Amino acid sequence: MTARPHHFPADKSSLAHAPTMVISNIWPALEGGRYAVKRIAGTPVTVWADLFRDGHGKLRAVVKWRKRGVSAWEESPMVHVGNDRWRGEFTVVELGEWEYTVEGWQDDFQTWRHEFERKAAALKPGESLQTESIEGAIILEESARLAEQGGHQAEAEVLRRASRAIYDAAPQDVAHTVDDSGLQALAARWTNRSLSTTAVPIYRVLVERERAGFSAWYEFFPRGAEGRADRHSTLRNCLERIRYAKGMGFNVIYFPPVHPIGTSHRKGKDNSLTCTADDVGSPWAIGSGEGGHYSIHPQLGTVADFEWLVREAKELGMEIAMDFAINCSPDHPYVQDHPDWFFQRPDGTIKYAENPPKKYQDIYPLNFHCKDWRNLWQEMVRIILFWADKGVKIFRVDNPHTKPVAFWEYLMSEVRLQHPDVIFLAEAFTRPRMMEMLAKIGFSQSYTYFTWRTHRQEIMEYVNELAHSDLREYFRGNFWPNTPDILAHPLVNGSPAVFMIRAALAATTMPNWGIYSGFEFCENDQHPDREEYRNNEKYELKERDWKRPGIRDFLTKLNHIRNTHGEFRHLSNLHFVHVDHDRLLAFVKASPHRQADLLVIINLDPAHLAEGTVNLPQESVPEPRDVPYRVRDLLTDDVYNWHGTANWVSLDPHSKPVHIFRIESSDQD
């Protein structure tokens, strides 16, 4: 019976002093600090804590932060906001993982001063405060000693003089001496913190660059860059297409895998099991005699071509996101070099992927729990580092939920130690807890259920969850109306209105969004059995006339508005507002200090006019009741005169399915 409770000074020998403060309920904290919250460099981290101790002492607290494993603690003061709750803030600009915690202590000088003043006020004739004065003098003398130790002689001298002044003074003179804000600041600076308490555990924040939190993605197959069914395009052909996407205001180009494509069991057109000599194969069946994840598919070019393209894109202000798909074709070099990394049958042959009755004989999954798992995991890190060294700083990770969560936590941490600017997007269309966990362990962005959310209530609930629940601390949704795998059902109708509506929903509710090419042309050729494209580009070269207008102008305006209005760079400033029509979705994006909020109104019905009264919150209305103000549609530059909180809107999907209003006071231009 010698067990002792946790956390206690029980092995008292190890504690220089008894714990004094209680520090608890630190926020933000994910599962007690087990996981890091996320912030964009330069945006503040506000930290809350409950902090108190026994007695009536005056307390002080600081929030402390440091680069993980590198720098010494910095600190800034916390303020008491009431009911023993304290708040502090810090801002970091350097990318990487930072740690923070909270430290508190009793301010001996202020505690003494407060008590002294109360005693002095109640002093009766014949009573003395000599002893109390000496106590104050001793506290200041101690501060002077600490200032001296810290190399601040001048400050030490001020403190020492005050100490001496207090020593012999009459009570009313003591009060006068210590009622000096300069002295109080010095006493606070050089207070004795040897009895302070620091919260354990240490909390963490992953600081990423702005693109992690604000991005517009455009996906295309490099081999289709020229839009020809009769010719395989190369990486050199892609630059024009990147310029084209930049023209529409996108800033991330995402390529499906560019590695050699396997030939064994290669899939034919439309996912056919039979394959002709002409069939180009799925880029997700990686590895051939020409190499694996370190190589470029020969029909696309060379690693040098790829490096050239990454550089050229960068010149344009564009970034290329690489697909990290841990899928090996039977021809992948690993199959020869590391057969033990794969799942093996009892007869020693390697297992292909299966989801009975489906068989994927063109894919060998890796066994992340094989005996040699350490080397396998490290090899995956090496792949990412190889491309990061070549300038790729965004990875779209294919199906991360089919590999161990612990593996991704390891991989991303290792990569970020060398390249803290690398961004990871999780393509996990799976169950909510897995999606949340992948974000918790470090994915910068995540694909979402948006693709299937169409009704007002479900969109509002989902966006509210991302914007205002604990998810906002770590889960950044990236909204895609379509992907090569998903021709979402609303798009099947094919009208420009529905594509504009889906694009506007994604681009205005979320700071991160993206489309797969063809979306701008309202492509809607549906597979007969599934929510997919017929003759999927994954398995063939597609004819595509890139010069058609489609809804390119609309997308260009949408991205332009996003890029020129900082309100769209954040999510937590989004607040849905009431409209009395169930197909009209409306929300405010609050501007800093609410001086000119944005108001987005979207008609979710691509076929019918929707009209109704939209109710602004009072704080978004720039003028007193009865004074008109203007709302300017940033898409059309149309201006409307509004009054008060309730105003009429009318959205005809055939001409104008979306308003993006700037709310202007009447004297604004």
Do the Cβ atoms of 466 and 472 come closer than 8 Å? yes
- Smallest CA-to-CA distance from 100 within 82, 83, 115, 78 is with 78
Nearer to a copy of itself, 382 or 643 (CB): 382
List 125, 151, 357, 624, residue binding a copy of itself (CB under 8 A): 357
Identify whether 633 is a catalytic site residue. Answer: no
List 11, 14, 72, 118, residue binding a copy of itself (CB under 8 A): 118
Sheet holding 646-651, edge to edge: 578-579, 610-615, 646-651
Tokens of 229: 């069914």
* Secondary structure string (H, E, C) spanning 234-252: CHHHHHHHHHHHHHCCCCE
List 226, 312, 340, 409, residue binding a copy of itself (CB under 8 A): 409
The residues in 326-345 that bind a copy of itself, with binding defined as CB under 8 A, are 345
List 151, 346, 528, 624, residue binding a copy of itself (CB under 8 A): 346
Catalytic residue among 99, 331, 427, 597: 427
List 176, 311, 314, 374, residue binding a copy of itself (CB under 8 A): 374
| 413 lies in the site for a copy of itself, by CB under 8 A | yes
Tokens of 15: 């504690």
Question: Hey, which residues does 138 pair with through a beta bridge?
Answer: none
Long-range CB contacts for residues 144-147, cutoff 8 Å, separation at least 24: 144/190, 146/190, 146/191, 146/192, 147/186, 147/189, 147/190
Do the Cβ atoms of 497 and 465 come closer than 8 Å? no
The residues in 255-294 that bind a copy of itself, with binding defined as CB under 8 A, are none
Q: What whole-number distance in Å separates Cα of residue 61 and Cα of residue 53?
A: 12
* Contact range with a copy of itself by CB under 8 A, out of 237-245, 306-314, 365-373, 660-668: 365-373
List 72, 122, 154, 277, residue binding a copy of itself (CB under 8 A): 122
List 27, 308, 360, 377, residue binding a copy of itself (CB under 8 A): 377
**C-alpha 211 chain-centroid distance:** 9
Catalytic residue among 219, 323, 331, 398: 398
| 70 lies in the site for a copy of itself, by CB under 8 A | yes
| 625 lies in the site for a copy of itself, by CB under 8 A | no
Do the Cβ atoms of 112 and 191 come closer than 8 Å? no
| 468 lies in the site for a copy of itself, by CB under 8 A | no
Identify whether 529 is a catalytic site residue. Answer: no
Nearer to a copy of itself, 446 or 620 (CB): 446
| 54 lies in the site for a copy of itself, by CB under 8 A | yes
Judged by CB under 8 A, how many residues of this single chain contact a copy of itself?
Answer: 78
Nearer to a copy of itself, 368 or 546 (CB): 368
Nearer to a copy of itself, 98 or 214 (CB): 98
| 247 lies in the site for a copy of itself, by CB under 8 A | no
List 175, 350, 385, 405, residue binding a copy of itself (CB under 8 A): 405
Nearer to a copy of itself, 406 or 627 (CB): 406
**b/e map of 286-308 (b: 16 or more CB within 10 Å)?**
bbbebbbbebbbeebbebebbbe
List 11, 18, 528, 655, residue binding a copy of itself (CB under 8 A): 18
**C-alpha 509 chain-centroid distance:** 15
* Contact range with a copy of itself by CB under 8 A, out of 2-10, 309-317, 492-500, 537-545: 2-10
Give, in order, the Cα–Cα distances in Å from 241 to each of 237, 254, 318, 331, 634.
8, 12, 12, 31, 27
Q: How far is the CB of 20 from a copy of itself (least distance, A)?
A: 6
| 97 lies in the site for a copy of itself, by CB under 8 A | yes
* Contact range with a copy of itself by CB under 8 A, out of 213-221, 431-439, 577-585, 617-625: 431-439
Q: What whole-number distance in Å separates Cα of residue 220 and Cα of residue 200?
A: 48
Nearer to a copy of itself, 83 or 618 (CB): 83
Q: What whole-number distance in Å separates Cα of residue 475 and Cα of residue 601?
A: 25
Q: How many residues does the chain have?
A: 669
Question: Hey, which residues does 38 pair with through a beta bridge?
Answer: 206
What H or E segment, with its residue span, contains residue 477? Answer: strand 477-479
| 624 lies in the site for a copy of itself, by CB under 8 A | no
- Residues with catalytic function: 398, 427
